[in-house]
Amino acid sequence: MLMADVTATPTMVTDKGLDRVIIGDSAKSFIDGAEGVLEYVGIEIDDLARNSTFEECCYLLWYDRLPTADELASYEKDIRSHYMLSDNIKQMLQQTPKDASPMHVVRTLVSALGMEDPECNDQSIEAEERKALRVLAKTPAIIAGFDRHRRGESLIDPDPNLNIATNFLLMLNGEMPGEQTARALDVCLILHADHGINASTFATMVAIGTQSDMYSAITAAIGTLRGPLHGGANERVMRMLQEIGSIDAVEGFVTGRLERKEKVPGFGHRVYKAYDPRAKYLKTFAETIADETGNHDLYEMSSTIEGIMEAAVGAKGIHPNVDFFSATSYYSMGLAIDLFTPVFALARNAGWAAHALERHEDNRLIRPRCNYTGPHGAPYVAIENR
């Protein structure tokens, strides 16, 4: 017999994807999905992409204002002092299977950072902030270190004189990147730094809401970002471009997918029904970097896919999202395809920590309910009688 859920009250709503739920207040990022606007603490994303740096945006998101020159220098110095991985973490890195998915490796080793932090059980906001700083500083070395390990190359120590983007490319490739490439990555990190209560940020908030620690919260977020409906879409975009292979094959591929009611990776967004402002910026950006690196065909294929999608489903509010043109950009920068989502995680550390710190100051355990649809009063049948 099915009984009414005794916990449900008339004020409760059922909302499977939580689309209609506002989880609380936040002063971090503002999104207007109808107009295609994104701001970090009130500053338009375009302005930040043109003028700021990733480190400055991290400061902005954590402390709700732009830093002075001295504050920024001191914050950067602090981050750089934590670039280096301990011998223990390096050893763990070198023991990971070479064919492991980099997202599994990043999730595991960010989690492992918590085991060696003497402050792990200190739940003061100051200690949580320092933990966030350590994760932000060390994630690039984990990603680059794993890529080198799987290629059979020795790990390269970070250079504390370099910013996060430049240092990451140095540790990855063993040589200083060109200024333009390093800045290109810096801009991509800015564009991916925060985005309201997306799925992975929500995972961070659920974990921090139980008064768990920053390492556990970011580990939960990395696992959530990995999914193809979220951060994992950028890798799918690139694999799709490779599968299509040439401009001539684009039309058949895309219309075939739409006819079969299959989604095209890199399109659509839960909040944006207008053009995602990050994608708008990245589109021009992807074209420049693709041209500079001899990947123009890739850009042209992306652009053709966009045109076909716009005509077919644009009216439904389905446009390219941040993952669509970031795929071409990362590929043109020479990143391995399965590093795209880890680099997204590297950037989103900024937003995960910002929301976790904000929540820490004004916390309430997150604990929704569900409508129970199973049986009641079912008999327990002894195992030999089943």
Q: Cα-flanking dihedrals φ and ψ of residue 100, to 5°?
A: -70, 155
**376 among known catalytic residues:** no
How many residues touch ligand ACO under the rule CB under 6 A: the total is 20
* Piece in contact with ligand ACO (CB under 6 A), picked from 76-84, 97-105, 122-130, 310-318: 310-318
Number of C-beta neighbours around residue 312 at 10 A: 15
Among 265, 282, 276, residue whose Cα is nearest residue 189: 282
Q: Can 297 be counted among the known catalytic residues?
A: no
Closest approach, Cβ 61 to ligand ACO, in A, equals: 17
237-276 positions binding ligand ACO, by CB under 6 A: 263-270
* Two tokens, residue 262: 């299959």
Which class for 199: exposed (0-12), middle (13-18), buried (19 or more C-beta within 10 A)?
A: middle
Burial of 386 (0-12, 13-18, 19+ CB in 10 A): exposed
Q: Scan residues 164-203 and list those touching ligand ACO (CB under 6 A).
A: 198
Find the shortest distance in angstroms from Cβ 100 to ligand ACO.
23
Q: Which stretch binds ligand ACO (CB under 6 A): 33-41, 75-83, 226-234, 350-358?
A: 226-234
In angstroms, give the least distance from the CB of 74 to ligand ACO: 32
Distance CA 172, CA 158 (A): 10
Q: What interhelical angle do 296-313 and 322-332 show, nearest 10?
A: 170
Tell me which residue has its CB nearest to ligand ACO.
268
Read out DSSP for 103-146?
Answer: HHHHHHHHHHHGGG-TTTT--SHHHHHHHHHHHHHHHHHHHHHH
Return the structure tokens found at 235: 């890798």
Catalytic residue among 230, 319, 355, 360: 230
Binding mask 25-64 for ligand ACO (x = CB under 6 A): ----------------------------------------
323 catalytically annotated = yes
> Which is the catalytic residue, given 192, 323, 355, 360?
323
Instruction: In angstroms, give the least distance from the CB of 133 to ligand ACO.
Output: 24
What x/- string results for residues 2 through 21 when contact with ligand ACO is judged by CB under 6 A? ---------------x----
Indicate which residue of 82, 149, 195, 269 is catalytic: 269
Q: How long is the chain? A: 386
Q: CA 142 to CA 342: how far, in whole Å?
A: 10
Determine the Cα–Cα distance for residues 88 and 92; give it in Å rounded to an integer.
Answer: 6
Q: Which stretch binds ligand ACO (CB under 6 A): 50-58, 63-71, 95-103, 321-329?
A: 321-329
Q: Which CB, 141 or 191, lies closer to ligand ACO?
A: 191
Cite the active site residues. Answer: 230, 269, 323
Sites of contact with ligand ACO (CB under 6 A): 17, 198, 229-231, 233, 263-270, 313, 316, 318, 321-323
